[in-house]
Chains A and B, each alone.
Chain A
Amino acid sequence: MLDDISLVLMPGKMNLIIGPNGAGKSSLIRVLSGLAKDYTGEVLYGDKNIRGMKEPGMAVIRAVLSQNIEVAFPMRVHEVVMMGRYPHFKQAPKKSDKEICEETMTLFDIAGMRDRNYMTLSGGEKQRVQFARVCAQVWGADQEAYRFLLLDEPLSSLDIHYQLDLMGRISVMLHNKRLVVVGVIHDLNLAIKYGDNITLLHQGKILDQGEPEKVLTLQNIKAAFRVEPDIVANEKDGSFYLRF
């Protein structure tokens, strides 16, 4: 599925993975998160190879937001968010855990629905709850260790307001110089707007990687996505966008 992948993802930068359906983006996330174990090569978090690491150890330093999360039972929103802190306490949550959950719920604008039944929420609201949970899991990465946040198509069920809102909030989180964020997104214009380091995957290989201007060229887009957009200069911020 994936072939000859070589990536360096730096903290404090918005690393985005783009590519057509079937290119291997989700597989790459699974490898990077340690869920998929049958690969040759190595994945290093900092300087530690994750192959030997056990689940509890990994859960403390990295969180993954998966595409379709099905919660089997009705739970309160705050209970779902608290699950993000499970790797951090043994039997009962500490005060710091509760505070962290409060912070992430406020960050993703769901504090008002903390007592609502998760199953009655809309797709976008559920997504924000999952965001809060996942961020709670890797909160507090500033001190010593690196923390890793992997997002697999996190914007899919969100309306345009929350797509921009969430990308904005993640950008703010990136001020933390020890947090490594990797996200898979489909919207190429959002990738241009927010991405610092873009990896374009095509048929399991890396077609190109680097800054948006370097990667999102007409030639690359045509090769990977089989469409030909106009590349339009954006006078407001000096960058560009794609017109389809």
Chain B
Amino acid sequence: MTARFGAVDISNGEIASSLIKTITGQTDLSLNERIFMNIRLPRAVLCIIEGAALAVGGVLMQGLFRNPIVEPGLVGTSSGAAFGAALYFVMGSVLKLSMGQWTLPVAACAGGLLSTGMVYLLAPRAESAKNSVVPLLLTGMAINAVFLSGVGFLSYIARDPQARSITFWSLGSLSGATWTVCLIVGSSTLLCCLLAMYFARQLNALALGEDEASLLGVNIERLKISVLVINVVMVAVATAFSGIISFIGLIVPHQLRILKGADNRSLIIHAALLGGAVLSIADVVSRVLLRPAELPIGIVTSIIGAPVFIYLLRRKNYYF
């Protein structure tokens, strides 16, 4: 449905016919039909996958850090992934590392794991869950600053086209969607979501506190590291191909907790669905608002997301 709008409007009839033609193996597609099949549809699919990855990442992060106002972006994952990706853009040919299509996501994953790991290890641990947020977020801010300045530096020494890539990338954009990309991000997201479901119940127990969860039979260290790795990989791969998109991981889980409670199993499933839907809407806005140009989707989510975030913070809220 969202594939209809954009720089070029495609009618429903053309959508239907392009699908039929592709399925039946014909190659005489009109321009609009080609746009649909090769650009719009993969983009729509990628939107859903990305939205799911970011939203589920938010659920996992909140469960892990036992706090509802963390999201992958705030604890370093996105900036680390950005740094990894920028490193690939700028230095990739110099360092001669290549795994084909997989190099970019792997670089982003490495960056994301590094940055999130640093936040996790360096953040001072406070006794209660409530008090531990502020030090965590501050550490996240510091690590974000480090990695984003790394990205800045790479932009600075980069040649123009690379610099422009980096800039565009840090604002978030889904214009690079191809079916291959969908496959990569889709498979990683699906795998990570399935693994996350396995750990969901243990994450529920973690809400009582580390000691309590341990007394209920949870192996805390293994849980923390597993969830962290799953989370970072999922978000980093998604970020590698879409750039930094903020707030989905924060607001979607938050709304769902209010609506559906804190059982992680149901949260993961619903977050995947709602996240996909929300990002798709944002994508339509980004394509339509300034047409025929395109607004980077990260800007759309930030413009809408930041005020919502502040509003949520200010509500009389029993978390704080």
Contacts and interface: CB of A to CB of B under 8 A. Distances in A.
B318 A83 contact: no
B214 interface: yes
Interface string A54-71: 111111101110101111
Interface stretch (B141-149, B188-196, B199-207): B199-207
A172 interface: no
Given A58-B217, A73-B68, A66 B207 contact: no
B97 to A, nearest CB: 41
Given A71-B207, A72-B67, A73-B207, A87 B217 contact: yes
Interface of A: 33, 35, 54-60, 62-64, 66, 68-76, 79-80, 83-84, 86-87, 91, 119-120, 137
Nearest to A64: B215
A56 B201 CA distance: 14
A216 B304 CA distance: 66
Given A76-B261, A83-B204, A86-B201, A69 B214 contact: no
A55 B202 CA distance: 13
B263 A86 contact: no
Instruction: Give the interface size bracket for B toward A.
Output: 20 to 34
Contact of A73 (B201, B211, B262): B262
A67 to B, nearest CB: 10
B4 interface: no
5 contacts: A55-B215, A59-B215, A70-B208, A76-B261, A86-B217
Contacts of A68: 128
Contact of A86 (B67, B216, B219): B216
A72 B214 contact: no
B128 A70 contact: yes
Contacts of B68: 72-73
Contacts of A72: 66-68, 129, 206-209
A137 B218 CA distance: 14
Given A35-B211, A71-B207, A60 B318 contact: no
Contacts of A54: 219
Contacts of A71: 207-208
B216 A87 contact: yes
B128 to A, nearest CB: 5
Interface centre among B128, B206, B212, B214 (most CB of A within 10 A): B212
Contacts of A87: 216-217
Contacts of B201: 86, 91
Contact of B209 (A69, A75, A91, A137): A69
